[in-house]
Structure formats: structure tokens, C-alpha cells
Amino acid sequence: MTDVLPIDGIDGDSVVVASIESKSPKRLSWDRFKRDRFAIAGLGVVAFFLIIAIFAPLITKILGISPNALDRNSLNDYGLPNGRFGGISGKHWLGVEPGTGRDILARLIYGARLSLFVGLVATLITTSVGMMLGLVAGYLRGRVDTFLSRLSDLVMTFPSLILTIALVRPGTQRLEAMGVPEGNPARLTYLMLVTLFFGWVGFFRIVRGQTLALREREFVEAARSSGAGPGHIIFRQIAPNLWGPIIALASMSLPGYVAYEAALSFLGVGIISPTASWGIMLQDSVHYYRADPTYFFIPGATLFVLVMAFYLLSEGLRDALDPKNDRQQVA
């Protein structure tokens, strides 16, 4: 209210604008985001899981539980948990695994670690590669664009799940031959490579389309008149206008990858037991769903809550980062 200066009043139509506290686009987005209660709730849940994942060893230590320690005493003669609700007790807050007596809470906590790690890495690599190629194709057009677009069409036609499953054996063996440690490291590397191969396409298409539109905007011509080269124009002029859709899309695809890892582990091509993974827990629990429904419910519900939280978060981010809302908010 204090900085209405006559110099800005020259235009007559600017007084209102000048009297508002200055806000950058980032600040405006954050203000919008803060008002979205669902998104904030989503962010809270995601942050909670992240903290659990990062501090998994510490948390399990404090709670005095371990994901791999067998507790035969908690099982009855049939190998099923003693007591009701899957053996929930003061010692095992979420019960124990039938057959082994391993603590479910501890396995869930370690499983969060793996799920989020896989989700984050998969999102990071697919987003960055897709964005890079999309920017280059959209800005350079011509042959580079034709080649990359055809390639993306081709990748889209592959049946990704079938190929992922079919190639898991030769793929991991190949990686092991190349020196990747056997077992889960090779499996994870294989999964990330396959994910990258199939996953860049979605980001590529969106970024390419947006870049094609943005490169025609006059500010790009203004940058060229200013003597800027393609590097500056792609990364400094065009890319900053894409962070909104990219972040929204990335936060939307992350839960997909978390669920994907669970599904692959469930199908037996993901993580190998005894490492804890939500997918492995689900797979295992299916065998006991009549005798011990709690065991099935817990990892399923956890996965559902995390995926849901990510979707709420990404919805909120998409609205908050949409620059179309900037101007309205000022007015």
C-alpha cells in the first residue's frame, strides 16, 4: 500500500497493480498451494512416509523390531499368528507374518524405503530424459524431432509389461555379467533400465508439445534478438516455463511407479525375498487371505494411502503451478 509511486501512475491503469506487495511466480504458486487443504494433507502423508523411509533403521531400532528376525513364539502350530487380527500385540503392533513370525510393521517400514526409492529414481530418470529429449526435439524440430518422435511412437507400441517380465532373466544375467552384484542390485538396475526405456515417452511428448508452442512465443524471438543462442533459449527461456507441468506430471507418475514395483514384486519379477517390499508382502499375504486377512489388509491399505496422497499432492501442484492463475490472483 505504501509504494504507490507517481511514476507508475503514468499509465493510469496501473495503480492497483503497484499497490500490491510484490510476488514472484514461485511465491504465487506457493500461496495457491497453501490454500488447497487436500494437497497439504497429501504433502503431509508423503512427507511422513519419506521420513519413515529415510530413518527406517533408526525407527525400527527404537521400536525394538527387525524386518528379518523370526519369532516362532508368536505363531501357533499351524504357522498362523497367535491371537486375533494377525497377531497384533504390544510386541508386534501390526502383527506378524504367517509362517515366519517376522514383524509386519518393521517389514512395512523397510518396504516403504524400497518403494519410495524405486518410485523416486524411476521418476527422476524418466522425467529428466523425457524432458531433455522433448526440449531438444521441440526446439530444433526437423530431423532430430522426426527421429525422436518416431522412436517414441515405436516404444509406445511395445507391450511393456510382457517385455519386462519376459526379459527379466536374460536382462539381469547380462547385467551380472557386466559386473552388477547379483540378486536385488541386478534386479533393481534391470527394472530401472526397463522403466527408463518405456517411461521417457510420456514426458517427452508433453514437453515436446509445450516446447513447440513456447518457441513461437515472442519472448523467444526477443531472446534471439538479444544475441542468445539455442542453449540459453532452451534452458533459460523455455524450460522455466515447463517446470509447472513437469513437476505435476512427475508427482503423478511417482505413485504409478510405486504401485508398479509392488506389482512386479507381486508377479515375482521385482524384488527378491527376504528383502522387504510391499509387493512381496502382498504376494505372500494372498496365500493367507482367509486365515489371516489382516496380513493382506495392512500392506494393501498402506499402498493405497501413499498412492492416494501422491495423487492429491499432484492435483494441488498442477493447479498451483499453472501460470494462468497468476494474473487472476493479482487482479
Partner 1 sequence: MTNPVVLEAKNLVKYFPTVSKGLLQRSTDSVKAVDGVSVQVRAGQTLGVVGESGCGKSTLARLLMRLLPPTSGTVLLDGADITSLTGRELRAVRAKIQMVFQDPVASLNPRHSVGQIIGTPLKFLKVKSATGAREHVQELMELVGLNPEHYNRYPHEFSGGQRQRIGIARALAVGPQVIVADEPVSALDVSIQAQVLNLMEKLQRDLGLSYVFIAHDLSVVRHIADEIIVMYLGKVVESGSPSDVYSTPSHPYTQALLSAIPVADPRAAASHKRTVLVGDVPSPIDPPSGCRFRTRCPRAQDLCALEEPALIDRGQGHPVACHFPG
Q: List residues binding partner 1 (CB under 8 A).
A: 3, 5, 7-8, 10-14, 17-18, 20, 22-25, 28, 217-219, 221-229, 232, 237, 240-241, 323, 326-327, 330
Euclidean distance between CA atoms 57 and 5, whole angstroms: 58
The number of beta carbons lying within 10 Å of the beta carbon of residue 97 is: 27
Q: Which is nearer to partner 1, 12 or 64 (CB)?
A: 12
Query: CB 127 → partner 1: shortest distance, Å?
Result: 19
In order, the DSSP letters of 262-279 are HHHHHHTSSPPTTS--HH
Using alpha carbons, select from 9, 30, 116 the residue that is nearest to residue 316.
30
| Residue nearer to partner 1 on the CB measure, 20 or 305 | 20
Minimum CB–partner distance for residue 55 and partner 1 (Å): 36
End-to-end CA, the chain: 15
Least distance between partner 1 and beta carbon 150 (Å): 15
Return the CA Rg of the chain: 25
The C-alpha atoms of residue 151 and residue 10 are separated, in whole angstroms, by: 54
Q: Is 315 within 8 Å of 38 (Cβ atoms)?
A: yes
- The nearer residue to partner 1, 28 or 259, going by C-beta atoms, is 28
Alpha carbon separation from 298 to 107, 280, 326 (Å, rounded): 11, 13, 42
* Least distance from partner 1 to the Cβ atom of residue 246, Å: 13
- 70, amino acid identity: L
Instruction: Give the C-alpha distances (Å, rounded to integers) separating 147 from 125, 160, 185.
Output: 21, 21, 33
Helix (H) or strand (E) holding 270: none
The amino acid present at 139, given as its one-letter code, is Y
| Residue with Cβ nearer partner 1 (108 or 131) | 131
Task: Please state the closest distance from residue 194 (CB atom) to partner 1, in A.
Answer: 35
Cβ proximity to partner 1: between 179 and 229 the closer is: 229
Q: Cβ of residue 23: shortest distance to partner 1, in angstroms?
A: 7
> Shortest distance, CB of residue 70 to partner 1, whole angstroms?
56
Beta carbons within 10 angstroms of residue 99's beta carbon: 17
Q: How far is the CB of 229 from partner 1 (least distance, A)?
A: 8
- The three-state secondary structure class of 141 is coil
What letter does residue 127 receive in the DSSP assignment?
A: H
Q: Which is nearer to partner 1, 136 or 233 (CB)?
A: 233
Instruction: Name 157's Cβ contacts closer than 8 Å, sequence gap at least 6.
Output: none
Is 177 or 331 the residue whose CB approaches partner 1 more closely? 331
Q: Output the smallest distance, CB 209 to partner 1, in A.
A: 18
Q: CB-wise, 238 or 298, nearer to partner 1?
A: 238
- Region for residue 271 given its phi and psi (left: phi exceeds 0; alpha: psi -120 to 50; beta: otherwise): beta
The secondary structure of 47-90 as a DSSP string is: HHHHHHHHTHHHHHHHHT--SS---GGGB-TTSPBSSSGGG--S
User: Measured from the CB atom, is 24 or 73 closer to partner 1?
Assistant: 24
